[in-house]
Chain A
Amino acid sequence: MTTETLQAPVPRTPLQEFWHYFSSNKGAVAGLAFIIFICFMAIFADVVAPHSPSDQARDALLLPPAWLEGGNWVYILGTDDVGRDILSRLIHGARLSLAVGMVAVTASLLMGILMGLVAGYCKGVIDTVIMRIVDIMLAMPSLLLAIAIVAILGPSIVNAALAISIVSLPHYVRLTRAATMSEMSRDYVTSSRVIGASPLRLMFVCILPNCVAPLIVQATLGFSTAILDMAALGFLGLGAQPPTPEWGSMLADALQFVQRAWWVVTFPGLMILITVLAFNLMGDGLRDALDPKLKQ
């Protein structure tokens, strides 16, 4: 009888450990790769895009993609009803979607962390009030709430971003508050308090670092929601306004061309789907890699 000796895993640094788990998730790596790719496109949109997003080629209206009959390699993904190059609009749209996502996520992350810290630290009335507001916001579907806010403030890309950052607040508040509450009961926090550390120092130096991991995961997933909601608002005419090359609003006028020009409909949506999927894949991968409960 032979006894095989199995190799024990070598100990690693936390970062290596994280990468080990993250990279073993193929979907997450694919998501990350696509996100890097699209960020690159967005940053260098002016260089990468073959045309200006607003150039109207009067002689090339509703041109099909290049590989189809009647297509033209000058307009690889075809043109829309006023002769704008769809590929270029998609690339510039990426810039817009990512920028809006970035702004909305950062804004709600900052506000959410602050509210969560305060609620968890102060407890009592302030906590109750903040959590009630959060509960009410959670009771409403985020898109409906965003629509309500934009309806009042008026349709524009800035108001849409504002609405999206407001509706995604509750998740961050809840996460931070829960982490704060559990950290607050730890001995080291109590002792720093006794020593007389200032509340601000406590909140940002002792407590905050402990909820970074779930916040990162939530922010990644928040990116996908922001892009999706932004596109929905754009589609409903409540977000970016027409000439802006935004993915959702590109689809808004496409409705009338469903019968004639499928490419006008297909590509912007595909772009939204893949980008949102990439963020979701990466978010899932991050969660699995950062969640210590799932590690053996």
Chain B
Amino acid sequence: MFQFIFRRLSLVIPTFIGITLLTFTLIRLIPGDPIEVMAGERGVSAERHAELSAQLGFDQPLYIQYFNYVSGVLQGDLGNSLVTREPVLSEFLALFPATIELTFCAAIFAILVGLPAGIIAAVKRGTLFDHSVMTFSLTGYSMPVFWWALLLMLIFSVNLGWTPVSGRIDVVYWIDNVTGFMLIDSILSGEEGAFSSAASHLILPSIVLGTIPMAVIARMTRSSMLEVLSEDYIRTARAKGIAPWRVIVIHALRNALIPVITVIGLQVGILLSGAILTETVFAWPGIGKWLIESIGRRDYPVVQGGILIVATIIIVVNLLVDIAYGIVNPRIRHSR
């Protein structure tokens, strides 16, 4: 098992190096003088130009620039925002909880709906339920997230007035930032109604963001389950005379989940990039909105740092998923 984890870890390192190379190159691919471009209409004074040039290390040879960049990154130094002059990392950390809260709820929604739907569709193969699940999941899979957000907002917030339009909590509440997670902070604040306000703000964004992962999980679970249900060991289990639910839940599901776990892990990337769109529509103050605004402001250090962090998170999550995969799949766990 340790060997397995170690091998996975060693595969992550070149990928991380590749990502740093990518983000490092990105900023140098800007056509023209990068500092001029970054400054844009704001313009830049000669001193500030020199200062920035030194700060970004543009006056040194490329390989030294890269070396400095990576060693900075490893020490948590991702540069400063051109607009706020704050360190990129601290801006990121301040906004990240909002994104985690959203993606986490979206993931929960996707799994809670997608997994059972896929299982039942496979068990009741060929029925109306199965066809509906397949139709809905293909539609969900083809859904333009930003439009879905607008549509749900139109129906549930504007026409029915059931949910708030945007933001994380009603403006009447002033919640101290303790953990950064509004659901938790609103409880800690002790203000009446704060938690339900925070929760109701989360509902639509979570559903919107969770739709595509839900569709993917449902499809994958169904096909994986169908495959497993036709395996010989399912026949063995049934020949033991155990109850049908036990055959499905204990014998089939355990095996069917192995590929599904990988797929769920891959959804983290989809969730984080979907968060960019969802946060923009719902004015959700997370890193997605932050990244898009930074692009608009030509705040390149933020764009560079933000992409690096998001990519790193995705790699780490995929690593964790790989390890989880090894834990549920004895064939991998015991292989050397």
A contacts B: CB pair < 8 Å: yes
Tell me the A residues contacting B by CB distance below 8 Å: 27, 132-133, 135-136, 139-144, 147-148, 151-154, 224, 228, 231-232, 235-238, 248, 251, 254-255, 258-259, 262, 265-266, 268-270, 272-273, 276-277, 280-281, 284
Contact B158 A258 (CB under 8 A): yes
Residues of B within 8 A of A139 (CB): 15, 19, 269, 311, 314-315, 318
Top 9 closest A-B pairs, CB basis? A269-B147, A141-B269, A141-B273, A136-B18, A276-B142, A143-B273, A277-B142, A151-B295, A144-B273
B257 within 8 A of A: no
Q: CA of A143 to CA of B311 in the docked complex: distance in angstroms?
A: 12
Q: A132-B14, A277-B138 are in contact. Are A238 and B295 (CB under 8 A)?
A: yes
Q: A144-B307, A147-B276, A151-B295 are in contact. Are A251 and B146 (CB under 8 A)?
A: yes
Contact B272 A144 (CB under 8 A): yes
Q: CA of A182 to CA of B207 in the docked complex: distance in angstroms?
A: 43
Q: For residues 137 through 164 of chain B, which have their beta carbon under 8 Å from a beta carbon of chain A? A: 138-139, 141-148, 150-151, 153-154, 158
Contact A259 B19 (CB under 8 A): no
| Chain B interface SS verdict (over half) | helix
B interface residue count range (under 10 / 10 to 19 / 20 to 34 / 35 or more): 35 or more
Which of A133, A143, A224, A237 gathers the greatest number of chain B CB atoms within 10 Å? A143
Residues of B within 8 A of A224 (CB): 142
Tell me the B residues contacting A by CB distance below 8 Å: 14-15, 18-19, 22-23, 26-27, 29-31, 138-139, 141-148, 150-151, 153-154, 158, 269-270, 272-274, 276-277, 280-281, 291-292, 295-296, 303, 307, 310-311, 314-315, 318
Contact A269 B296 (CB under 8 A): no
Residues of B within 8 A of A141 (CB): 269-270, 272-273, 314
Residues of B within 8 A of A133 (CB): 18
Q: A143-B273, A269-B151 are in contact. Are A259 and B158 (CB under 8 A)?
A: yes
Contact B150 A152 (CB under 8 A): no
Residues of B within 8 A of A259 (CB): 158
Contact A132 B18 (CB under 8 A): yes
**25 A-B pairs, CB-CB below 8 angstroms?**
A136-B15, A140-B19, A140-B311, A141-B269, A141-B270, A141-B272, A141-B314, A143-B274, A143-B276, A144-B310, A148-B23, A152-B30, A153-B29, A228-B144, A231-B147, A248-B144, A251-B147, A258-B150, A258-B154, A265-B147, A270-B147, A272-B144, A273-B139, A276-B143, A281-B138
